[in-house]
Chains A and B, each alone.
Chain A
Amino acid sequence: MIATATTPDARTALLDACARALDHPGACLREWKQRHPAAHVVGYFPTYVPTELIYACGALPTGLWGGSIAVSRANAYIQQFTCSIVRSTTEYALHGAFDQLDAVLFPPICDSAKLVASIWALNFSERFMVDMVTLPERLDSDASVAYLAAELRRVGATLAQKLGVTIDDGALACAIDRCNRLRASQQAFCSRRATLEATMPLAHAAAVLKAGTLMHADDYLPLLDAFLAELTSDARSRRSKIPVVVSGLACQLPHPDFLALFDEAGFAVVGDDLLLGMCGGVAVATGGDPYLALARAFTQGPPLATRHHDTIHRHEFILDQWQRGAARGVVFLVPKFCEPEWFDLRYLKAEMEKRGIPNLVLDFDEDPTGFGPVLTRLEAFAEILM
């Protein structure tokens, strides 16, 4: 039995809360701080920073996603041949949008992210602490796990010292449990994507997952779980839609209006490695050394364009999604100036074409306009797949 419907209340409550978190992040932060006057807020660049460390410090982790701001002041810091998220996020920082934060953690997602972290450290350290969770670039070695465990211990200690708190294994175990529950619910949400399409098109699904990086898990999880609990079968939803898999990088999502075009063009997104990148990690083991458990879980997650694994390959993950969702095609969403994704694209396209899988490449940035040609291309692709 396929598909779904929920009572309007659970769906509306979830979407309203997520929309508010995404549209008014500053106001939401201020409210949260009013409710938790002694607590801290730690920003992080999406998406591989282990938020367990932040929760273990009693702080609110909040993702820094950039947005459709006109970049002008950031031009004095970052060249134009970089992806839009690093430029727009820097523009927001220069406007003081993150001055409420106590610290910002960067992951070394790619060369641009490493350098932007460094530029922020140079220019914004008086406003908030800037540090890097220097994740390993390769995920296929025991040495990577040992290294990352030590690095997480260093970051945890540095962050706790900055925030004036202590981070003990008990607090970290609680944080791990909280994030495991968050991840499990988000993955349940994603795994019911095919059945969700009737009530939750791609743009809404992306908003729900993105809001999960902005809201405190204790506020967010009850809303998401209530929605999941009320999902009921509804066999009508998928039949008129064309099932596709969407592939991209979780650190930068297209504008919601861009994502809404999938629905408009008649697609049901039945699988992806775009949204799963935000929540697709494995559960972190409990008991034992929590840092080692976090490190091990990171190396066991789904394949990522920006991490190397000798035997786990990204095209296999996409093909698996394609097969499970009985998809008819694959759409690649590539951020402009994203070197890792442009590299992967050549090989991923070849793997799809080797198997006769129709595919479409769309590039994007955070510009909220000019989506007409995108819709035309999506509609043309839909006609091919019909």
Chain B
Amino acid sequence: MSPKKLETTTLTQKVMRDYYAGCREAKAQGRKVAWSTVIMPTEILVAADVEVLFPENHSATCGTKGLGPALSELAEAAGLSQETCSYVRCDLGVRMGGHSPWGGLPAPDIVFCATASCSTVTKWFEDLTRHFGCELAVVDMPYNFSGSITPHSIDYIVAQFEESIRRIERITGRPFDRDRFTEVMKLSREAHEYWRKCLELGATKPSPITTTDILVNMGPIVCLRGTQAAVDVYRSLYAELSERVASGYVAAGEERFRLFWDNIPFWFALGSLSRRLGEHGAAIVGATYLYHWVREVDPADPLRSMAREYSTAVTMNQSVAHKIDKLCGLISLYQADGLVIHSNRSCKPDALGALDLQRAVERRCGVPVLILEGDHTDSRAVSDAAVQTRIEAYIEALEQKKYGHLRVTTHEIHASR
């Protein structure tokens, strides 16, 4: 039986369509439009009535439609090496006239770039300012090498938030409304809380939702933080998941193996990877990536709390030791039987350390770990045959570990006929 579609997904899709249409309309009406990295407190921009678009989200969407290779080729023809992040190549490919599911993004009046996710975004956004001739605001969020954020890092980030606010005042020609900002922050906190609670319900065993379904519904927490629309989506999702848990609904069939995923997904193969794992009774029930949007922002002290949360929520800005601790905690929370690490060549800050992570998780959690070489949007960097072979070998290891024997799969029965 195929899993039921979440009713909230229909709402999410409408909210995202309205969001993109709203940005386009704002641009047409001469209102200010900003582009931003996803790890950036864009609540500041929302409070200033600046429409915000996220090229990373746009590139991921291009990836889900299988556009990564074609867009990358356009970017490479325009001089960008294949050794750069494929999100950037997708974006440049669209700027070079390639196809976009959203018809491209309205040109920005200003771009905001926070460095917590990686240093790549700085190079990317420098290119955007050269392309569009617009202003660039870099918000430097230093790497938390020791695993905890230093007081001078917080002061530094807060000073840059204040600088960003002054930039926005200059761009919009209006003073920044701190009261409105407080209201936006309350909405942001509410959406974040619902998002966190949805993930916690997702950790229920058996799981009421697959990670693919959560990914399909994550647009608003990425793009619409600080809006009522995001609160509505996650309140709805939370209610729906609560009902599923209460009724004992299981999203992923027999769930013989509960797997946890690390790093950005293979956007171009969300469905096929789930099906491939599903043939073996395995389901991905959680992902580190989803936890990048678990934050506790404090409307009473918005800038300092955001400095802390935005620069520490992503594993990319934390030490490998910190990531190991976080992963081990999540594997325990999800009662996962295994961990799949995407060694994503387009995201070095999240991929490097994978080999230490593998050893540590196997030792501390006692679960087998699979590393898959890949790329988040450029499917040319992924060998389908190698993925298949590695998954099959991994399932055998899981079988041995959990059930102490090998199981003959439907696939193998068909193959032997």
Residues of chain A at the chain B interface (Cβ within 8 Å): 76-79, 81-82, 108, 110-112, 114-119, 121-123, 131-132, 134, 136-138, 141, 143-144, 146-147, 150-151, 154, 306, 308, 310, 336-340, 342-347, 349-350
Q: Indicate if B78 sits at the interface (CB-CB under 8 A).
A: yes
Residue from A111, A122, A138 in contact with B320 in the complex, judged by beta carbons closer than 8 Å: A122
Select the residue from B119, B159, B320 with max chain A CB neighbours within 10 A: B119
Q: Indicate if B214 sits at the interface (CB-CB under 8 A).
A: no
Is A306 a contact of B119 with CB atoms below 8 Å?
yes
Residues of B close to A310: CB separation below 8 A:
136, 138
Is B140 a contact of A343 with CB atoms below 8 Å?
no
0 or 1 for each of B346-368: is its CB under 8 Å from A? (1 = yes) = 00110111111000000000000
Residues of A close to B124: CB separation below 8 A:
343
Q: Give the Cβ gap from A68 to chain B, nearest Cβ, in Å.
A: 21
Q: Quick check: which of B19-27, B147-155, B297-305, B404-412 contacts chain A, the rest being far away?
A: B147-155
Residues of B close to A306: CB separation below 8 A:
119
Can you list the 7 inter-chain pairs with the closest CB atoms, starting with the nearest?
Answer: A150-B152, A115-B352, A147-B156, A343-B123, A143-B159, A342-B81, A132-B145
Residues of B close to A111: CB separation below 8 A:
118-120, 316, 348-349, 352
Is A137 a contact of B119 with CB atoms below 8 Å?
yes
Residue from A117, A340, A344 in contact with B145 in the complex, judged by beta carbons closer than 8 Å: A117
Is B123 a contact of A339 with CB atoms below 8 Å?
yes
Residues of B close to A154: CB separation below 8 A:
150, 152
Interface residues on B, range: 35 or more
Residue from B88, B130, B343 in contact with A347 in the complex, judged by beta carbons closer than 8 Å: B130
Select the residue from A121, A337, A339 with max chain B CB neighbours within 10 A: A339
Residues of B close to A119: CB separation below 8 A:
320, 352-353, 356
A115 and B353 contact, Cβ closer than 8 Å, known pairs A121-B145, A308-B126, A340-B119: yes
Q: Indicate if B142 sits at the interface (CB-CB under 8 A).
A: yes
Residues of chain B at the chain A interface (Cβ within 8 Å): 78-81, 83-85, 88, 115, 118-120, 122-124, 126-127, 130, 136, 138, 140, 142-143, 145, 150, 152-153, 155-156, 159-160, 163, 316, 319-321, 324, 343, 345, 348-349, 351-356
Is A132 a contact of B352 with CB atoms below 8 Å?
no
Is B123 a contact of A336 with CB atoms below 8 Å?
no
Closest to A130 in B: B145
Is A136 a contact of B140 with CB atoms below 8 Å?
yes
Residue from A81, A132, A138 in contact with B345 in the complex, judged by beta carbons closer than 8 Å: A81
Residues of B close to A342: CB separation below 8 A:
80-81, 83-84
CA distance A79 to B85 in the complex (A): 16
Residue from B142, B145, B150, B353 in contact with A136 in the complex, judged by beta carbons closer than 8 Å: B142
Given contacts A141-B163, A342-B84, 7 further A-B contacts (CB under 8 A): A110-B119, A111-B119, A116-B352, A147-B156, A151-B150, A308-B138, A345-B79
User: What are 27 A-to-B residue pairs whose CB atoms are below 8 Å?
Assistant: A78-B355, A79-B343, A79-B354, A79-B355, A108-B143, A111-B118, A111-B119, A114-B145, A115-B320, A115-B353, A118-B320, A119-B353, A122-B320, A134-B142, A137-B138, A137-B140, A141-B159, A147-B142, A147-B155, A150-B150, A151-B152, A308-B138, A342-B84, A345-B79, A346-B79, A347-B130, A349-B79
A112 and B348 contact, Cβ closer than 8 Å, known pairs A118-B320, A119-B353: yes
Is B352 a contact of A79 with CB atoms below 8 Å?
yes
CA distance A343 to B320 in the complex (A): 26
Residues of A close to B78: CB separation below 8 A:
346
